[in-house]
Amino acid sequence: MKLGILGGAFNPPHLGHLILAQEAHSQLGLDRVVFMPYGEPSHRELDDDPGAEERLTMCEYAVGADARFAVSRLEIDRGGPIYTVDTLRELRSRSSDEELFLLLGGDQAASLPTWRSPEELLTLAVVAVAERDEWRRSSIVDRLGPLASDERVRFFDMPRVDISSSYVRERARSRKPIRYLVPDKVANYVGAQSLYGSSAPAPAAVTR
């Protein structure tokens, strides 16, 4: 089984995350993409963090009934600072038959040499990088240096989607609508829980 791992804060999850997961699933021939929200990230503090459980719930709402995707609470339950290599070790220990693909944006991939145990990480999973205009393959390979190889680093195309979690939070804080930037259930949850400074649920989508 070919399993894609998409880690992140998902604060909140937005349509760009889903498009990235879809493109990886299609282009890399994955059986499933697992959304894995951070518990306590090792590298930064999360801005406007509503809490790990809330971010997990939003991921579950974002994925919905799409059989291509799943959500894992592995990193939330582990506790303490999270390092990707530890997550991959645990996944590998649970099932040696799965082929793991770590899905990264170009900026994340370019910083891989600074991560904990990058050489070991590349023995545990194939690093699959979303190639976009601002991060092309050649510049990423240059940054990775000797870590880059055709066997352990793969690329897939990602349409340009100018949505970020920080932009969604800013709009929510300004009481601007966030529908069509995030899935409907996520928009409703943000409003209902007054996350990011929002004050009221988003209006329900009209069905015909």
Q: What is the pLDDT of residues 41-86, one digit of tens each?
A: 666 678 899 999 999 999 999 999 999 999 999 999 988 788 999 9
Between these two residues, 7 and 131, which has the higher pLDDT value?
7
Is omega for the bond preceding 203 within 30 degrees of 0, making it cis?
A: no
Domain ranges of the chain: 2-164
Q: According to the CATH classification, is domain 2-164 in 3.40.50.620?
A: yes
Tokens, residue 184:
């409907």
Whether the predicted pLDDT of 94 surpasses 50: yes
Strongest mean pLDDT among 35-44, 134-143, 160-169, 192-201 = 160-169
167 pLDDT band, cuts 50/70/90, is very high
Could you tell me how far CA 60 lies from the centroid of its own chain?
13
15 pLDDT band, cuts 50/70/90, is very high
For helices 184-192 and 52-63, give the axis angle rounded to 10 degrees.
Answer: 150
Between these two residues, 26 and 205, which has the higher pLDDT value?
26
Number of CB atoms found within 10 A of residue 87's CB = 22
DSSP assigned state of 115: S
Residue given tokens 């894609």 in the structure block = 4
Whether the predicted pLDDT of 39 surpasses 50: yes
Give the integer Cα–Cα distance in Å for 53 and 90: 21
104 pLDDT band, cuts 50/70/90, is very high
Exposure string for 95-111, b = 16+ CB within 10 A, e = fewer: eeeeebbbbbbbebbbe
Residue 151, SS3 per DSSP: coil
Residue 186, SS3 per DSSP: helix
For residues 82-91, average pLDDT: 94
For residues 96-118, average pLDDT: 93
Q: Are 35 and 186 in contact (CB under 8 A)?
A: no
For residues 139-157, average pLDDT: 90
Could you tell me how far CA 122 lies from the centroid of its own chain?
18
Tokens, residue 27:
């282009």
Between these two residues, 169 and 134, which has the higher pLDDT value?
169
Burial of 19 (0-12, 13-18, 19+ CB in 10 A): middle
Number of CB atoms found within 10 A of residue 21's CB = 24
What pLDDT score was predicted for residue 133?
A: 66
